[in-house]
Amino acid sequence: MANPSPEAPPGAPVEPGAGPRRRAVLDAAPGPLHPVAARTLAAAVDAGWADPRRLHAEGRTARRLLDDARAVLAEGLGVRPEEVTFAPDGPTAVRWMAQGLSYAARRRGARVVTSAVEHSAVLLPARHDAAQAGDRTLARVVPVDRLGRVDLDAWAREVAVPGTVSALLQHANGEVGTLQPLGPAHEACRAAGVPLGVDAQASLGRVAPPRAFDVLAGDATSWGGPGGLGVLVVPDRTRWLLPGPADPDAALHGPSRHLPWVPLALAAAEAWQQTAATRDSDAAEAFALVDELRAVAAGVTDVEVVGDPVDRLPHVLTFSALYADGEALVREFDRHGFAVGSGSACTSSTLEPSHVLAAMGVLTHGNTRITLPLAAVASDRERDVRAFASRIAPVVAAVRAELGATHL
Amino acid sequence: MRAAVVVDARGLRCPLPVIRLAQHVRDLEPGTVVEVWATDPAAAADVPAWCRMRGQEYLGSREVAEGDDGREDGPRGDHTAYVVRVVAPG
């Protein structure tokens, strides 16, 4: 595959004798496709293009490839292949997860419990549905602590309220990295007879997949797979149904009724195998690199590193700098060759700050978010992180100076 | 109660309301109560976070409807008043 890296911009630091500095991708959500999965995808485009419902040889090949992909993902997620079903992308998988739980229980109630730091694919539909029903209390949003962890006592109280039909909680937060206490949260749900849908979009491929769920949703990009593929796990024991007519191809599609493009499913399965094989060592290395970055960022005046320092995803780091503008930080790091993210309002299309940072009660402006790529797609990851660490203080200082905020 | 000092940051986007606040607080005696008027939604999170990070006391906020402030200058319209008591030197 040709190297698609963009040219280094004018003004990017030049390494002696190395030409323009290569780009350091520290915003890998989504990250690049795993190189082995890219080769599998190319091969599957040739071998698995056909409609897997057709009876001819090409169709049967596509069907076999899709079955193989499903089997690989099922094994990796610790479930049976019939329990794995697909969606057009991660956010759609998450929306369907919530919708299927609610719809299956529509005769018993409509109350949904979630946390304040869920993905917008959870929060927006929950609030919309409650507003449509004329009762905003049908969407109960449980607060989180300063680290972004859901308040378990409030969670247990809320899921036990009569009329509650589903609970939705992420495995880990993709913006700040904090892992949620899924085990106790699931216990509380089970005690109340309420199914738990778990959004694992940020965690799959980075840490061991969760076991405590009644429906699970993820996105193939989180484990180095292709875009355009969401995955749902709907165990037999879970009452889950999307609205709409019965599916004549249910055996092929599974409960979501969605047939993915077979090459995407195959590439996702290949990426899963590749990433799972090195997951523990990759995670340990990423965890240590993020620890280094956390220490460096925390040492900069009026910079607060947010999220749980220990009980967290290995590869995510977020910090907020007082008196700095998130958009300017992203631009300035970019100019130095680093792709980073931000949850600050000025970097969003809505001008609203990150609801995650706001719910945690931490500073929303001057925010910088690092999502380390898998080592398999960024061979110089360690060097990139060290180079970035050395840039944090000067870039923050430069952005503050732009705003005339240097002696505060 | 009207605060002794008002920082009018209406119409300014983050991080400017907090920068204006910090600039004013630098010159104020401990104990002074400051109101920051802001229209930027990020101020709701950022003023309390600034207080926590810089050791100031956040007293709360109130919504102010158009015309309530009795001032003719500055952008008109609804805003939020965030109330801070100066504890530490700016």
- Mean pLDDT of all residues in B20-24: 94
* Cβ A164 vs Cβ A194: under 8 Å: yes
Give the closest residue to B58 by CA, choosing from A363, A141, A353, A150.
Answer: A363
Residue of A nearest to B55 (CA): A302
Tell if the CB–CB gap between B14 and A345 is shorter than 8 Å: yes
Q: Percentage of chain B surpassing pLDDT 70?
A: 82
Q: With bands split at pLDDT 50, 70 and 90, how would you rate the model's confidence at B29?
A: very high
pLDDT above 70 (res B75): no
Q: What is the pLDDT of residue A9?
A: 47
Give the closest residue to A327 by CA, choosing from A348, A347, A345, A341.
Answer: A347
pLDDT above 50 (res A11): no
Check residues A221 and A344 and name the one with the higher pLDDT: A221
Confirm or reject contact between A324 and chain B (CB < 8 A): yes
> Which of these ranges, A220-224, A277-281, A329-333, B11-15, has the smallest mean pLDDT?
B11-15
Q: With bands split at pLDDT 50, 70 and 90, how would you rate the model's confidence at B2?
A: low
Q: What is the pLDDT of residue A17?
A: 45
**Which residues in B lie closer than 8 A to residue A401 (C-beta atoms)?**
none
Q: What is the pLDDT of residue B89?
A: 72
Distance CA A146, CA B48 (A): 13
Give the closest residue to B10 by CA, choosing from B56, B71, B52.
Answer: B71
Q: What is the pLDDT of residue A60?
A: 97
Q: With respect to CATH, is domain B18-32+41-90 assigned 3.40.50.300? A: no
* Cβ A130 vs Cβ A111: under 8 Å: no
pLDDT above 80 (res B76): no
Q: Which domains does chain A have, with CATH numbers?
A: 14-22+278-402 (3.90.1150.10), 37-276 (3.40.640.10)
> Which of these ranges, A86-95, A158-167, A176-185, B61-70, has the smallest mean pLDDT?
B61-70
pLDDT above 70 (res A353): yes
What angle, rounded to 10 degrees, do the helices at A182-192 and A152-159 form? Answer: 20
Tell if the CB–CB gap between B46 and A364 is shorter than 8 Å: yes
pLDDT above 60 (res B14): yes
> Which of these ranges, A19-23, A51-55, A145-149, A324-328, has the smallest mean pLDDT?
A19-23
Residue ranges covered by each domain of chain B: 18-32+41-90
Least CB-CB distance to B41: which of A324, A353, A405? A353
Confirm or reject contact between B41 and chain A (CB < 8 A): yes
Q: What is the pLDDT of residue B44?
A: 94
Distance CA A330, CA A338 (A): 8
Token pair, residue B4, equals: 């002794």
**Which residues in B lie closer than 8 A to residue A357 (C-beta atoms)?**
45
